[in-house]
Amino acid sequence: MHTGSATDQPSPAVGSVDDEETWRIRRTAADLDRLGETESIFALGNGWVGWRGVLDEGAPCAMPGSYVNGFHERRELSYPEEGYAFPQASDTLVSAPNAALIRLWVDDEPLDIRTGTLHVHERVLDLRAGVLRRETEWVSPAGRRVRVRSTRLVSLPRRPVAAVRYEVEALDGPVELRVCSDLLANERVPERSDDPRAASVITDPLTAEAYRAAGLDGVLVHRTEHSGQRVAVAVSHLLDAPDTLATTGDRTPDRVRLTVAGPLHPGERLRLTKFAAYECASVGGMPAGELADLVAAEADAARADGFDALLADQRAALDAAWQVADVLLDGDPELQQATRFAMFHLIQAGRPDSGRTIPAKGLTGNGYDGHVLWDTESYVLPVLTYLAPAVARSALSWRHAHLPEARERARELRLTGATFPWRTIGGRECSGYWPAGTAALHVNADIADAVLRYLAAADDQRFLAEAGLELLVETARLWHGFGHWSDTGAFHLHGVTGPDEYAALVNDNVFTNLMARRNLRGAADAAERHPDLAGRLGVEPAEIAGWRAAADAVFIPYDRKRGVHQQAAGFTEQPEWDFANTGEDDYPLLLHYPYLELYRRQVVKQADLVLAMQLCPGEFTADEKARNLAYYEARTVRDSSLSAAPQAVLAAEVGHLDLAYDLFAESVLQDLADLGDKTADGLHLASLAGSWLALVQGFGGLRDDRGVLSFDPRLPRRIDRLVFSLRWRGRRLRVTLTRAEARYELPDADPDATIDLRHHGAEFRVTGAAPVIRPMPPVPDPGPEPHSPPGRRPTRRSAG
């Protein structure tokens, strides 16, 4: 459900960057009209805690956000006319008490970049250090000049911990300072817009249970009224300041404040360092007092270690992550920077020890109400499986933990096996009844696909026994019970919605059918390899045989007259969309046309058939891929940020490298250039992950659907060299591509370590002893570039 835009107009410039700047995202202006976008871009997180990049002072602010993964409140859903099995409640991500706030008054005037004079205002997201740095030189309306510097981090190695160091200097003369370090609950959130993709707003969602302050420390404990959750946040401070400054503290149910006040002279500096710790639990779990003690101990431990130790640990954690996650892209510094930005946010989106998965926006904003959608499994986890397999494992284990809710939903819908939700936070369906959501059963096969990819890449037999096999079995049971056999002996899946939300309740959606086939076969293979485990799940040989028979007979609609696959049965016979009378301001179409009009025409919101070709490449011939890509490119308007990446992968595979490069650029710049005007609600993690897929699957030619890694690399004109790494069965494989050759090596492995690979169809083995070099064959001429809908081709970057 992620919405972006495609346009022939140039995107907002990120700015020319040199090599060192490709590791930094820098803003040197107040950009008051782009506050929300900047807050999302500068967000920090570690998969458990997330701080939006709001200014230290908390104002001006587009949307505050201090999140704990999975912490939410429940609200009732209402319908003008009720229907059986309509979801009755939805969950919305809410902010935990915010510990990032540090407010400053200079001679009783608040530092506010909208007042006075800004001589310097620079904020830098350091992708290597994992911190957000800020420097501001401000002259108050009364003429008092100060310099403020801050460094903020959310600790990657220490799950509950975040910290900020805040420094103030007087520049021209003495000033009277007041610095207030706040821990604040129930911050005001702006009301939602008319855009259905915006978040719901719950006013004052937290009820205070405990609040205490002593010396330089404080704790707040709050609970939600309906979801039954409790959150605790503690702060602990270090103060380095002249003796002339004094400290005081106060507390209310929703705020703990430490105030430092007094005179500051030129040459003197106030440095306040705040350490915070976050935990949450069910109300029926850990009592409020024990939770408060737990976070207080965590914050105190961080203070004892010191801010410099947190910085060092953060850098060490990122150095290890970047060894695998970095992608070197020579030839386009702007997109090199954007690629590192994308990978940084993927690194901090999840963790292996949180018991949580990765929402669509991560912890960067409350868009989509903080829900988890299917794109976690279809876009984000395929990347993390190669880069951080333990994080992918944790996310899939979270799905397994919510199998009870999925089984309950299947029973409610009169289905077999498990029906996983379209949108969720805590395992239950959070989307009100909507044909393009409720009928999107493909989420079950998407989860199974992520399980199969993880098992192939990690060979994790323990995960298979503990969670993987049961996920495969229960999702396979859904398809076997949902489908039906026709008189011709074909197995059909009717009344579903595929990835394209401009088509709903269709029959035999190719994506859904092929992914269900993969699900059924994967479950059958796993159950046969592990009969004892399968037996404990009640799997009998006859059930396995039924899965295989259904998979072999899955119907795949094909239009012989046009020589293309039908996105769903009959799709190519529907009326065409009237692009000639659709203006530039009519996009995204969902905000300007009724869904009834969209559903019945050949117009595609997001890649559907093309995504099927990306995820199930062995099901299509090369000629079919080329014809399908051309047909659907002409009808895909990319009103969704999920489209560009799979389109780029297929465009590269069939040889349209300029188009592929432009689509890759659209995917990776989705947030840095705010292409869909929705970055203020949070980053589009699927699009950021998709940019890695566009590079590695598209230009690197990576495929893994046959259990063996194969590469068919080809570089576009703008990339002189492409270097990437991935993990495969415990080893790191590094691939270096130039126009002349491809180099495959195992840089960290023992000499006798091996991986079997394919390069443009030729099998070979790479060992830890020496790299293997293969020539890059010429790219065949693919013919004319496919046409895009009028005005919807991605911005042309390929020519330089």
C-alpha 117 chain-centroid distance: 37
Q: Is the pLDDT score of 779 beyond 80?
A: yes
Give the mean model confidence (pLDDT) for residues 629-646: 97
Q: What are the catalytic residues?
A: 501
pLDDT in tens, 39-71: 999 999 999 999 999 999 999 999 999 999 999
Predicted pLDDT of residue 197: 54
Which range is least confidently modeled, 45-49, 188-192, 277-281, 723-727? Answer: 188-192
Query: Tokens 């003495």 identify what position?
Result: 174
3-state secondary structure of 251: strand
Task: Give percent above pLDDT 90 in the chain.
Answer: 93
Per-residue pLDDT, 15? 41
Q: pLDDT at residue 176 above 70?
A: yes
Residues 6+ apart with CB under 8 A from 690: 379, 642, 644, 645, 646, 648, 667
Mean pLDDT, residues 267-273: 96
Q: What angle do CA 674, 680, 682 make, to 5 degrees?
A: 95
Contact between residue 495 and residue 439 where contact means Cβ atoms under 8 Å apart = yes
Q: What percent of the chain has pLDDT over 70?
A: 97
Round to whole Å and give the CA distance between 180 and 255. 11
Place of tokens 């310099």: 147
Mean predicted confidence (pLDDT) in 367-372: 96
* pLDDT class of 194 with cuts at 50, 70, 90: low
Give the fold, CATH level 3, of 33-298: Beta-galactosidase; Chain A, domain 5 (2.70.98)
* pLDDT reported for residue 107: 96
Residue 51 is labelled as binding a ligand: no
What Å distances lie between residue 513 and 199, 446, 473, 557, 600, CA to CA? 32, 12, 17, 10, 21
What is the pLDDT, as a whole number, of residue 7? 35
- Give the per-residue pLDDT at 192: 57
**Whether pLDDT at 6 is above 70:** no
Q: Where are the beta strands (DSSP E) in 99-245?
A: 102-106, 109-110, 117-126, 131-139, 145-154, 161-170, 175-184, 206-214, 217-224, 229-240
- The two beta strands, 161-170 and 145-154, are antiparallel
Q: Which of 456, 317, 385, 450 is nearest to 727 (CA)?
A: 385
Amino acid (1-letter code) at residue 71: F
pLDDT at 2: 39
The per-residue pLDDT for range 447-491, each reduced to its tens digit, is: 999 999 999 999 999 999 999 999 999 999 999 999 999 999 999
Q: Does residue 199 carry a pLDDT above 70?
A: no
Tens of pLDDT, residue by residue over 576-601, are: 999 999 999 999 999 999 999 999 99
* Whether pTM exceeds 0.85: yes
605 is in an annotated binding site: yes
Q: Is 375 annotated as a binding residue?
A: yes
Which residues face 755 on adjacent strands?
A: 766
| Nearest partner of 123 among 29, 50, 33, 46, judged by Cα | 29
Q: Which helix (H) or strand (E) holds 315?
A: helix 307-325
Both structure tokens of 61: 């602010």
The strand order across the sheet containing 754-759 reads 709-711, 754-759, 762-767
Residues 6+ apart with CB under 8 A from 326: 340, 343, 724, 725
CATH 2.70.98.40 residue ranges in the chain? 33-298
Helix (H, G, I), strand (E, B) or coil at 29: coil
And the tokens for 422? 């379209």
Residue 645 vs residue 433, higher pLDDT: 645
23 is in an annotated binding site: no
**pLDDT tens track for 654-684:** 999 999 999 999 999 999 999 988 999 999 9
pLDDT of the residue at 437: 86
Per-chain mean pLDDT for the chain: 95
- Is residue 643 scored above 60 in pLDDT? yes
pLDDT above 80: residue 126: yes
